[in-house]
């Protein structure tokens, strides 16, 4: 898991006088026994706090300092509620969506939506139909294809699902699209990323700031998810990926599609050279396709034998030029 | 390994001439005829490897005659996949194993999609191209929130009713199916 941090461009530009940011660089911390601090006058004040809260070396640990009294929020404002919910592990759907939206917006800052209304509508129709087969059919599911030659797909809490144009162009059918979206939907259903955030040491660090009051909810969320959209580049554990594969297969089958379409995508991805840059992030954050196929194969065994053949939807598949 | 036999030669033919010849070869050599068109784009007569040990059966049905046990890691030739089954040749036998038990192997630099199959547009070389827009951790860490793109994303969101209408028009019918548990390790 990568470090927890914040200081984005936006964060910097939003800084107001009195907002003091400082960065604790783990390696420096380890070497000198002190944090690298941008706001020197707060150094002593927070040194003790950092020493106690931020342990492991080699990770960046920016922490947001307190706001001046005039901009403080009271304990029952959304920012603090969110913090408490995260620390307690009982995040409401509204808060989950808030976190997901922040991650989605940051990811879109890196790779905007492909400018093709027909494509985006199509992906939302298929995605929503697949999502209707889940225990969260009424979540406000968002689907998007983003401008990137990489082969990858992303999920953020609250129902935000993206796949890259590079991956989309590799797909052969609507059933394959449904399988890929189903995998990501699986991450949302099982709250894999939310749990990752809750487990991260960052939450402990922010927790320490609870009494000090962060500026607003936006700041809390951005602090929680770290730098930009870096959270989507953090790998989940392998079992979470295998679970999402099983869910993706089941959801596409429930939606009436060929259940074997997701494995076909995995096989296809497996044929991309391992050192191809377009799959470097995917392979860094996921088990290799052959291992995923192998797990899926063991899990499925004979469970699909009685299932009537589903649709491939090849003819309907929206092709990008 | 595959024996070079008359049967083997027919497979070479198949790989060269494609699906239409598979139908021809099937009738000549009496192989089981797939009842339906394959649903997956799989190159005929491709090198493949067994991901797990499986029973090779005479027909795509778990109750049909058992021909052979094919071990994990065995090199086989894969003819075609259809629904949950793949037709393969191994040790002189041709029969069917579960589609998830076998995986096509590609030669270096040649992708599955380039091997023929069903009218798929080649997507270019697998060699990494300099200057393509990638998404790595470093880049992702530097970005900031794009409110206009979030708004655009929101504009494409559709409701339950529209999704159901789409499915109905497409002839997609929801089916009951339980989630699948993790395999026993």
- DSSP secondary structure string, A186-242? HHHHTTHHHHHHHHSHHHHHHHTTGGG--S-HHHHHHHHH-STTGGGGSPPPHHHHH
Instruction: Enumerate residues 115 to 144 of chain B having a beta carbon within 8 A of any beta carbon in chain A.
Output: 118, 120, 123, 126-129, 132-137, 139-144
Give the C-alpha separation, A44 to B143, whole Å.
Answer: 31
One DSSP character per residue, A39-101 reads: SGGGHHHHHHHHHHH---SSSEEEEE-PPPGGG---TTSHHHHHHHHHHHT---HHHHHHHHH
Kindly report which listed range (A45-54, A265-274, B30-39) carries the lowest average pLDDT score. A45-54
If pLDDT is split at 50, 70 and 90, which confidence band does A283 have?
Answer: confident
Range among A175-184, A270-279, B52-61 rated most confident: A175-184
For residue A65, give how far its alpha carbon lies from the nearest alpha carbon of chain B (Å): 20
Sheet holding B66-70, edge to edge: B66-70, B54-57, B93-98, B85-90, B75-82, B46-50, B102-104
Give the pLDDT band (50/70/90) at residue A232.
confident
Distance CA A119, CA B156 (A): 10
What confidence tens digit (pLDDT) does each residue in B91-133 have? 899 999 999 999 888 654 344 433 333 333 334 333 333 334 5
Q: Which residue of B has its CA nearest to A110?
A: B143
Q: What is the residue extent of each domain of chain A? A: 121-192+234-300
Give the count of beta carbons closer than 10 Å to the beta carbon of residue A256. Answer: 22
A99 close contact with B: CB closer than 8 A: no
By CA distance, what is B122's nearest residue in A?
A: A170
Is the pLDDT reported for residue B24 higher than 60? no
The token duo for A266 is 């995995």
Examine the pLDDT at A41 and tell me if it is beyond 50.
no
* Whether the predicted pLDDT of A280 surpasses 70: yes
Q: Does the interface ipTM go beyond 0.85?
A: no
Q: How far is CA A43 from CA A26, A63, A219, A290, in A?
A: 15, 12, 21, 50
pLDDT of residue A198: 79
Higher-pLDDT residue of A18 and B145 is B145
In angstroms, what separates the C-alpha of A268 from chain B's closest C-alpha? 7
| Residue of A175, A174, A140 lying closest to A160 (CA atoms) | A140
Sequence-separated (6 or more) residues with CB below 8 Å from residue A248: A179, A180, A181, A182, A183, A184, A185, A186, A262
Q: Check residue A207 and give its pLDDT.
A: 57
What mean pLDDT do residues A67-94 have? 63
Query: What is the pLDDT averaged over residues A119-145?
Result: 98
A259 pLDDT higher than 90 = yes
Chain B residues 73-102 with CB within 8 Å of chain A: 81, 83-84, 98-101
Q: Is residue B163 a contact partner of residue B146, using CB atoms and an 8 Å limit?
A: no
**Per-residue confidence (pLDDT) for residue A107, from 0 to 100:** 92
A11 by DSSP, 3-state: which? helix
pLDDT of residue B59: 94
Q: pLDDT exceeding 90 applies to what percent of chain A?
A: 44
Higher pLDDT: A152 or A21? It is: A152
Report pLDDT digits (tens) over B11-22.
444 444 444 444
Answer with the residue of higher pLDDT: A221 or A70.
Answer: A221
Question: With 80 as the cut, is the pLDDT of residue A63 above it?
Answer: no
Mean pLDDT, chain A, whole residue set = 76
Token duo for residue B163: 């999704």
pLDDT of residue B13: 40
Per-residue confidence band for B84, with pLDDT thresholds at 50, 70 and 90: confident
Is residue A122 less than 8 Å (CB to CB) from chain B? Answer: no
HSE (CB half, 13 Å, CA atoms) of B177? 28
Mean pLDDT of A257-267: 93
pLDDT at B177: 95
User: Which residues 56-75 of B are in CB contact (within 8 Å) with A?
Assistant: 62
Q: A210: pLDDT confidence band, cut at 50, 70 and 90?
A: low
Strand A142-146, strand A160-164: pairing: parallel
pTM: 0.70
> Which residues of chain B form beta strands (DSSP E)?
46-50, 54-57, 66-70, 75-82, 85-90, 93-98, 102-104
Give bridge partners of residue B88 from the DSSP assignment.
B78, B95
Residue A311 pairs with which residues in a beta bridge?
Answer: A257
pLDDT band at A133 (very low <50, low <70, confident <90, very high): very high
Residues of chain B with Cβ-Cβ distance to A306 below 8 Å are none
Q: Which pLDDT band, with edges at 50, 70 and 90, does A174 fall under?
A: very high
Interface of A with B in 199-238 (CB under 8 A): 222, 226-230, 232-233
**What per-residue confidence (pLDDT) applies to B77?**
94
- In this prediction, residue B116 carries a pLDDT of 35
Q: Which residues from chain B sit within 8 angstroms of residue A298, using beta carbons?
A: 52, 183
Residues A245-256 have a mean pLDDT of: 97
CA separation for the pair A154, A100 (Å, rounded): 11
């Amino acid at each position: 898991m990568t470090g927890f941090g914040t200081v984005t461009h936006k964060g910097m530009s939003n800084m107001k006088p009195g907002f003091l940011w400082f960065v604790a660089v783990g390696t420096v911390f380890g070497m000198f026994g002190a944090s690298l601090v941008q706001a020197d006058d707060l150094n002593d004040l927070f040194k003790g706090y950092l020493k106690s809260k931020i342990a492991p070396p080699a990770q960046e640990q920016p922490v947001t300092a307190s706001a001046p009294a005039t901009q403080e929020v009271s304990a029952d404002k959304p920012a603090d509620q969110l913090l408490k919910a995260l620390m307690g592990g009982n995040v409401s759907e509204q808060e989950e969506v808030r976190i997901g939206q922040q991650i989605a917006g940051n990811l879109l800052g890196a790779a905007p939506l492909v400018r093709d209304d027909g494509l985006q509508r199509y992906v939302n129709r298929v995605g929503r139909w697949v999502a209707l087969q889940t225990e969260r059919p009424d979540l406000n599911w968002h689907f998007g294809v983003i401008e990137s030659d990489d082969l990858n797909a992303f999920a953020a809490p609250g129902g935000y699902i993206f796949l890259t144009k590079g991956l989309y162009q590799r797909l052969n059918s609507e059933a394959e699209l449904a399988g890929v979206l189903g995998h990501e939907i699986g991450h949302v259903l099982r709250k894999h990323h939310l749990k990752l955030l809750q487990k991260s040491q960052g939450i402990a660090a922010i927790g320490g700031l609870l009494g000090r009051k962060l500026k607003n909810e936006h700041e809390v969320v951005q602090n929680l998810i770290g730098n930009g959209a870096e959270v989507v580049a953090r790998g989940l554990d392998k079992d979470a990926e295998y679970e999402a594969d099983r869910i993706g297969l089941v959801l596409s089958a429930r939606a009436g599609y060929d259940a074997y379409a997701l494995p076909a995508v995995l096989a296809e991805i497996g044929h991309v050279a391992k050192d191809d840059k377009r799959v470097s992030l995917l392979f860094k954050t996921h088990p290799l396709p052959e291992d995923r196929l192998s797990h899926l194969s063991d899990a499925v065994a004979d469970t699909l034998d009685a299932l009537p053949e589903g649709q491939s939807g090849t003819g309907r598949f929206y092709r990008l030029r | 390994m595959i024996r070079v036999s008359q049967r083997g030669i027919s497979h070479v033919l198949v790989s060269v001439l494609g699906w239409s010849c598979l139908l021809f070869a099937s009738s000549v050599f009496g192989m089981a005829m797939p009842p339906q068109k394959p649903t997956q784009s799989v190159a005929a007569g491709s090198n493949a490897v067994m991901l797990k040990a499986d029973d090779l059966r005479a027909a795509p049905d778990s109750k049909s005659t058992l021909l052979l046990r094919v071990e994990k890691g065995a090199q086989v030739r894969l003819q075609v996949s259809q629904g949950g089954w793949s037709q393969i040749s191994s040790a002189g036998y041709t029969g069917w194993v579960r589609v998830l038990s076998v995986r096509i192997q590609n030669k270096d630099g040649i992708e599955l999609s380039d091997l023929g199959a069903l009218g798929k547009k080649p997507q270019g070389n697998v060699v990494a191209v300099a200057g393509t827009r990638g998404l790595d951790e470093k880049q992702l860490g530097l970005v900031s929130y794009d409110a206009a793109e979030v708004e655009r994303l929101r504009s494409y969101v559709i409701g339950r009713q529209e999704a159901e209408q789409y499915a109905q028009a497409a002839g997609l019918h929801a089916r009951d199916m339980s989630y699948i548990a993790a395999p026993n390790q």
